[in-house]
Structure 1
Amino acid sequence: MSTKQQLTEDMKAAMRAGDKHKLGVVRLILAAIKQREVDERIELDDSQVLAVLEKMVKQRKDSISQYEAAAREDLAEVERAEMAVIETYLPAKLDDAELDALIDAAIAETGASSARDMGKVVGVVKTRAAGRADMAVASARIKARLAG
């Protein structure tokens, strides 16, 4: 079952169960997916849906940090709850050892030897770790590995 189909089924289940919170978040996700499909005039596949979900999680993280800086813990909590529901549709995150192994394999595959080759390595890691790793963390590790 594709992620979009899973979302539709979960929306129906949330309606039947009367789970207003989950229903609202799933509707937000489906609206974001539909908006991108309409804007680009395409049907999104699973990897593109994952990209939409990752973007939504990133937006929530940014909002949480802004709300906390403004001492609005009530709004930050709402964002955390939405983020928790969105993350259930993302694949399991890579642990540190798996991410390091993936980076080592990408460096070996691309033949990268200096920081100038970082773009090649990031490109390989990004495709293989789609939705399973924070690319900011991965980029920092790649940079450190290539620097020395």
Structure 2
Amino acid sequence: MSLKERITEDMKAAMRAKEAARLLTIRGLLAAMKQKEVDERIELDDAAVIGIVDKLIKQRKDSIAQFGAAGRTDLVDKETAELQVLESYLPQRLSAEEITAAVAAIVAELGATGPGDMGKVMGAVKAKLAGKADMGQVSAAVKQALSR
């Protein structure tokens, strides 16, 4: 079963169980997926769906930070619940050690030497680790590997 089919089935299950918050989050995800399909006239594969989920997760994290700074705990709780639903659609994330090892291997493979090669390395790392790792952690690992 593809990730897209799984999300659709989860939406149906949330409807049956009358889980309004979960249903709203899943519908938002499906709407973002449909929008991408319509805009680009493509059929989304699992990698593209993971990219959309990552984007929505980043938005939720930014919202949580903003609402937390404003003292809006009610909205922080709502965004946190949505974040948990969205994270359930991501594959298992790599640990910090695994990210560092993967970045080191790619840096060695490309022969990158300094901060000037950051873009080249990030492009290769992004292609290999998309959906498997938090890109913020990946970027920090690339900066650290290139500063040696």
TM over 0.5: yes
SS in structure 1 at match of 2:78 = helix
* Contact in 1 for aligned 2:99/2:141 (Cα 8 Å): no
SS in structure 2 at match of 1:112 = coil
Which consecutive unaligned segments of at least 5 residues does structure 2 have?
none
What amino acid is aligned across from residue 91 of structure 1 in structure 2? P
Runs in 1 of length 4+ with deviation above 4 angstroms? Answer: none
What amino acid is aligned across from residue 73 of structure 1 in structure 2? T
Is residue 45 from structure 1 mapped to residue 45 from structure 2 by the alignment?
Answer: yes
- 1:46-125 equivalences in 2 (<5 Å): 46-125=46-125
- 1:27-46 equivalences in 2 (<5 Å): 27-46=27-46
CA displacement at 1:13 relative to structure 2 = 1.3
Distance 1:68 1:18 in 2: 29
Q: Deviations over 1:70-127 (max 9, x none)?
A: 1111101100000000000011111011101100111111111111111121112111
Match of 1:12 in 2: 12
Q: Point out which structure has higher relative CO (alpha carbons under 8 A, 6+ apart).
A: 2
What amino acid is aligned across from residue 71 of structure 2 in structure 1? A
Distance 2:134 2:16 in 1: 34
- 1:117-136 equivalences in 2 (<5 Å): 117-136=117-136
- Name the TM-score, length of structure 1 as normaliser: 0.95
CA displacement at 1:128 relative to structure 2 = 1.5
CA displacement at 1:36 relative to structure 2 = 1.2
Distance 1:141 1:130 in 2: 15
- Name the TM-score, length of structure 2 as normaliser: 0.95
Aligned residues: CA RMSD: 1.0
Which consecutive unaligned segments of at least 5 residues does structure 1 have?
none
Aligned pairs, number: 148
Q: Deviations over 1:52-83 (max 9, x none)?
A: 10000000011111101111111011000000
Match of 1:138 in 2: 138
* Contact in 1 for aligned 2:91/2:132 (Cα 8 Å): yes
Identity %: 53
